[in-house]
């Protein structure tokens, strides 16, 4: 019997339109815009000036703290500007704009396709290299990878869990990576295991990807301790806590992290990037992006340089269709609508989804009928109807008491609500407000302690 997580979950249509499309290398654009904040944590700080000459792989911004990530140039050319821009969510951020001149790479990067199997670095050196190369979670969360690998004192990692689920409808970038670059992924898993000093890893893959399961299962025979775990099809199985439950039969308590139950979770794309960073000395300067949607002429998977305009990706997939009603960064469940497409691909851009006008139109909202469907499908065991009401009424203390910070923003509640209530919109609002209040209280407590 196939494994899965125990609480909640839904089964949206898969719509994996680009699953059979091999990864294509997207041409390098004439200009890239590389944001300084492509990760959770402090923005990186520029270490180049306007007019500087850079190569592919040149460090252009240094991490702004422990929870931050280095940023490297994805192209060779001249730094044109360091300026503020408006991102896809309408937020102002800083970016380094580079005019492309040729395609010259840093000599330290190994560009051969040979698989390098001898891991020469020790655990602490691996973590340092991952940090140096600017790696972040490639599944969309963009948490700096070196932070996850630095297990806190007093805690112990027992197993690495690799997310090959790709449960979001439409998205196929991880699927194609597992089919086309399985050896590099498995070597990345082996490197991560050495960094964590463990001998057990699970690669969770949903059973709608039988070709990836078969390929990795066969190759994993040469990697002791690595188990490919086929999983029952259910959304949101790619959530960290849900994946740990499915693969390890362990439940992460409210307010706790995966390491509290002995697990560290990484995406398959991150494992691939770890291999390239440690064995090839390659910074995170490009990633696989799925460009898909029913209105598109050619749903595709592209290898894209960081900083490439989203509009260039859409053009390569057949161009902007006339009946496009919405462009979403990510998948339809957890992705967010883009305000415009003149924004760059960043480290966390797993997919670009185009929806037609009919699909993208929100249905009319009706009154809650108290059916409790949102409660039944919530994978975190929350009460979305209640959390949305508390958020709408700005009852932040009560929202915190009902564990609003546990919400993973999967959208299962919205999907199942027969009254089309904007549950997730309100819960996101409340989660942001409560999070800000908690951070302010922590900062005040820290300041008070320092005064004593």
Query: pLDDT tens for residues 145-157?
Result: 999 999 998 999 9
Q: Would you call 422 helix, strand, or coil by DSSP?
A: coil
* Largest pairwise CA distance in the chain: 65
How confident is the model over 156-204, as pLDDT tens digits? 999 999 999 999 999 999 999 999 999 999 999 999 999 999 999 999 9
Q: What per-residue string of b and e applies to 9-35 under the rule 16 or more CB within 10 Å gives b? A: bbebebbbbbbebebeebebbebbbbb
pLDDT score for 449: 83
pLDDT score for 206: 97
Query: Mean pLDDT over residues 232-242, rounded?
Result: 97
pLDDT score for 89: 86
How confident is the model over 29-70, as pLDDT tens digits? 999 999 999 999 999 999 999 999 999 999 999 999 999 999
Q: What per-residue string of b and e applies to 407-430 under the rule 16 or more CB within 10 Å gives b? A: bbebbbbbbbbebebbbbebbbbb
Q: Give the separation between CA 26 and CA 313, rounded to whole angstroms.
A: 8
pTM: 0.95
Does the structure show a pLDDT above 90 at 73? Answer: yes
* Mean pLDDT, the chain, whole residue set: 96
pLDDT score for 446: 84
Query: How large is the C-alpha radius of gyration of the chain?
Result: 22
Q: Where do the domains of the chain lie?
A: 1-26+112-360, 373-451
Query: Mean pLDDT over residues 327-344, rounded?
Result: 94
pLDDT score for 1: 75
pLDDT score for 230: 97
Asked whether the beta carbons of 196 and 123 are under 8 A apart, the reply is yes
Q: Tokens 């009424």 correspond to what residue?
A: 393
User: Cβ neighbours of residue 256 under 8 Å, at least 6 residues apart?
Assistant: none
Residue 236: asked if its preceding bond is cis (omega within 30°), the reply is yes
At 329, phi and psi to the nearest 5?
-85, 110
What's the topology of domain 1-26+112-360? Rossmann fold (3.40.50)
The two beta strands, 159-163 and 300-305, are unpaired
Q: What per-residue string of b and e applies to 64-92 under the rule 16 or more CB within 10 Å gives b? A: beeebbbbbbbbbbebbebeebebbeeee
Residues in the chain: 452
Token pair recorded at residue 276: 């390239």
Q: Would you call 289 helix, strand, or coil by DSSP?
A: strand
pLDDT score for 49: 97
Does the structure show a pLDDT above 90 at 294? Answer: yes
């Amino acid at each position: 019997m196939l494994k899965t997580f125990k609480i909640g979950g839904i089964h949206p249509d898969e719509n994996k339109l680009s699953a059979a499309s091999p990864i294509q290398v997207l041409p390098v654009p004439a200009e890239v815009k590389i944001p300084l904040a492509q990760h959770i944590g402090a923005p990186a700080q520029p270490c180049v000036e306007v007019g500087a000459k850079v190569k592919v792989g040149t460090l252009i911004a240094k991490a702004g703290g422990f929870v931050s990530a280095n940023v490297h140039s994805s192209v060779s050319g001249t730094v044109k500007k360091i300026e503020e821009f408006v991102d896809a969510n309408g937020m102002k951020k800083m970016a380094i704009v580079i005019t492309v001149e040729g395609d010259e790479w840093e000599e330290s990067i190994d560009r051969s396709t040979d698989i390098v199997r001898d891991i020469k670095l020790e655990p602490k050196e691996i973590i340092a290299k991952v940090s140096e190369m600017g790696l972040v979670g490639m599944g969309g969360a963009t948490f700096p990878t070196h932070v996850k690998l630095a297990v806190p004192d007093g805690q112990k990692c027992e197993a690495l869990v690799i997310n090959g689920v790709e449960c979001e409808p439409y998205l196929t970038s991880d699927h194609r990576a597992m089919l086309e670059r399985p050896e590099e992924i498995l070597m990345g898993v082996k490197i991560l295991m050495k960094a964590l000093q463990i001998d057990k890893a699970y690669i969770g893959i949903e059973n709608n990807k039988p070709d990836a399961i078969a390929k990795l299962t066969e190759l994993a025979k040469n990697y002791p301790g690595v188990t490919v775990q086929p999983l029952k099809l259910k959304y949101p199985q790619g959530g960290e806590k849900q994946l740990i439950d499915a693969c390890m039969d362990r439940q992460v308590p409210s307010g706790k992290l995966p390491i509290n139950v002995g697990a560290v979770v990484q995406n398959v794309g991150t494992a691939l990037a770890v291999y390239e960073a440690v064995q090839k000395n390659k910074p995170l300067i490009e990633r696989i992006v799925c460009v898909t949607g029913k209105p598109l002429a050619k749903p595709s998977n592209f290898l894209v340089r960081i900083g490439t305009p989203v509009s260039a990706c859409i053009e390569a997939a057949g161009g902007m269709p006339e009946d496009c009603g919405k462009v979403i960064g990510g998948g339809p469940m957890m992705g967010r609508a883009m305000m415009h497409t003149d924004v760059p691909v960043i480290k966390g851009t797993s997919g670009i989804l185009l929806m037609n006008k009919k699909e993208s139109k929100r249905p009319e909202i009706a009154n809650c009928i108290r059916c409790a469907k949102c409660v039944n499908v919530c994978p975190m065991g929350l009460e979305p109807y209640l959390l949305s009401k508390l958020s709408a009424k700005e009852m932040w203390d009560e929202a915190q008491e009902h564990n609003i910070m546990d919400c993973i923003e999967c959208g299962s509640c919205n999907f199942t609500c027969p009254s089309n209530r904007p549950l997730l919109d309100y819960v996101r609002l409340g989660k942001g407000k409560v999070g800000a209040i908690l951070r302010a209280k922590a900062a005040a407590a820290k300041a008070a302690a320092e005064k004593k």
